[in-house]
Structures are given as C-alpha cells and as structure tokens.
Amino acid sequence: MPCVKLKLLGPFRSSAGESRADGSRTFELAPGARLGDALMCAELPADVPRVVLLNGVQRSDNPALDDDDCITVFPPIAGGSAEKAWIH
C-alpha cells in the first residue's frame, strides 16, 4: 500500500485537519491508488482552483502513486487560470 505525503499550502492548509507544522499529512492508500484518490482523501473544496504537483512536477493527469510520493497543492499564483489547473 502506498504511503504518500500530502502538503497543502495557502487556503488549502486549513483543510488539512490534523497536520504537521508544515501543513503536511501522510496517507496510506490502497494498492493501485492514483493521484485523484489521494486528493479525494484530503477533502479539498472542489470549487477552488488549484495547482497539483507530484514530486515537484505539475500534473494534469491521474498517475498511479508509489510509496513515499509527495503531493503538493496550492492556489494559482499571479497569472495562470482555473482552466489550466487540474481540478479533480
């Protein structure tokens, strides 16, 4: 089962519930879990645009997760648009 780190920044940090000082939480997911599964576990507000990084790389697809992957979620900053942000 993959164990992934989810780091929430900006307004998403309040959605983190119990988290570390840096706004991160660790999730253990079912085998074969994908990026979208981890985001659903985080219970983020669906109506807020966001940028999603997987291991430091912006992703717009839904790849399978590996143990120790790090997912970072933050709002678009200065420019960008909701259409280009991956919203699951």
Tens of pLDDT along 1-54?
789 999 988 878 776 555 667 768 888 999 999 999 998 888 887 788 889 999
Q: Is residue 85 part of a domain?
A: no
Q: Is residue 43 part of a domain?
A: yes
Q: Indicate whether this model's pTM tops 0.75.
A: yes
Q: Provide the domain count of the chain.
A: 1
What's the domain range around 49? 3-74
User: Where residue 57 falls among pLDDT bands split at 50, 70, 90?
Assistant: very high
Q: Quick one: pLDDT at residue 88?
A: 44
Q: Is residue 45 part of a domain?
A: yes
Q: What is the CATH number of the domain that holds 44?
A: 3.10.20.30
From residue 59, how far is each of 4, 53, 68 by CA, in Å? 16, 6, 17
